[in-house]
Amino acid sequence: MSPASASVFVKCSCGHLHWGRYGAAGLLLVDPARGVLLQRRAWWVHHGRTWALPGGAIEAGETALTAAAREAFEEASVPAEAFRTVSASVVDHGEWSYTTVLALAEGAEARVANTESAEVRWVDPEDVPGYPLHRDFAAAWPDLAARVGRKLVLVVDGANVVGSRPDGWWRDRHGAAERLRDQLARLAEAGLADPDDASVTWWPRIVLVVEGKAKHVTGVAGVEVVAADTDGDSKIVEVVAKQADARILVATADRELKRRVEALGAAILGPGTLRTRLDAL
């Protein structure tokens, strides 16, 4: 927590004191080989000597993602370029909220970086409950543990989604697919609210499947484009079948395709719902 933070305690409706006028955020950093990164808090800070995540108060004008990244660097010397954000979840107490940013380590090293940290350690997720945890982290851990190692893949049926809106796409299918791709790139950056849990946002891997006159559309940052030579539905099923250890959403309204991908464990996001979210960006 930096001195420039809105460094006050807030008493929420549950009767607890929390640090940060604008709420707080922490980074749940996951490495498949090493586990999750925990920080033992120094004896003199609030809830000292307990284990939790690198994190602290959100400063005025900061986003929760920016705050979590800043705190991870200040407390555990983890630079933002050493991890990839996967999801974020919010515990909202009304007057105060805490955002946990879940990220995958990409070669990240960690060390004690300031006096607020007594120790940082990679811990097997199964061993986390055995540590003397910060009260709020202990309460949140069961839900967080269920998302450790999980990612979201959004597979978009390009022809179906483009054709869901009568905006002249039939005159320029290639151009319409490019416009959809560019909107999806903005979604990849902004994040996608979980269809089943409004407190969770995902930064998904996005795969746009194109066919016909749109098959020469190329990918951009945040969006992989896969061309189907003939049968677009079969290509989508093939893409879905290759996604291991991921939650999968398929954006389509095609009834038979929905049946096929649901049999593989995918969930469905309707084109209208997707379009509404894209239009809001």
Instruction: Render pLDDT for 240-253 as a digit per residue (tens, 0 to 9).
Output: 999 988 999 999 99
Q: What angle is formed at CA 150 by the lines to CA 146 and CA 156, rounded to 5 degrees?
A: 130
pLDDT at 7: 57
List Cα–Cα distances, 85 to 43, 79, 105, 259, 276, in angstroms.
30, 13, 9, 31, 24
For the cut 80, the answer to whether the pLDDT of residue 102 exceeds it is yes
For the cut 60, the answer to whether the pLDDT of residue 1 exceeds it is no
For the cut 80, the answer to whether the pLDDT of residue 6 exceeds it is no
Q: What is the pTM of this model?
A: 0.86
Positive/negative CA dihedral, 29, 31, 32, 36:
negative
Q: How confident is the model at residue 20 (pLDDT cuts 50, 70, 90)?
A: low
Of 85, 71, 54, 67, nearest to 190 by C-alpha is: 85
The average pLDDT across 218-241 equals 96
pLDDT at 23: 81
Query: Which of 1-15, 133-147, 218-232 bottoms out in mean pLDDT, i.e. has the lowest?
Result: 1-15
Task: Give me the helices (H) in the chain, please.
Answer: 64-76, 135-147, 158-162, 173-190, 232-241, 255-262, 271-279
pLDDT at 4: 45
Average pLDDT of the chain, as a whole number:
91
Dihedral angle at the C-alpha atoms of 260, 261, 267, 269, nearest 10 degrees? Answer: -90
The most confident of the ranges 2-11, 50-59, 106-115, 174-183 is 174-183
Q: For the beta carbon of residue 65, count every other beta carbon within 10 angstroms.
A: 20
The average pLDDT across 149-176 equals 94
Q: Give the integer Cα–Cα distance in Å for 197 and 88.
A: 11
CATH classification of 9-146, choosing from 3.30.450.20, 3.90.79.10, 1.10.357.10, 1.10.10.60? 3.90.79.10
Q: In the beta sheet, which residues pair with residue 56?
A: 25
Q: For the beta carbon of residue 200, count every other beta carbon within 10 angstroms.
A: 20
- Residues 40-88 pLDDT 10s: 999 998 788 999 999 988 888 899 999 999 999 999 999 999 999 999 9
- Residues 166-221 pLDDT 10s: 988 989 999 999 999 999 999 999 999 998 898 999 999 999 999 999 999 999 99
Here the tokens at position 251 are: 């954006």
Strands (E), the chain: 9-11, 17-19, 24-31, 35-41, 51-52, 55-57, 83-92, 97-105, 117-123, 152-157, 192-194, 197-202, 205-211, 223-228, 247-251, 267-269
- Domain-wise residue ranges, the chain: 9-146, 151-280
Residue range 151-280, CATH number: 3.40.50
State phi, psi for 247 to the nearest 5 degrees: -85, 135
Q: Is 162 helix (H, G, I), strand (E, B) or coil?
A: helix
pLDDT at 46: 76
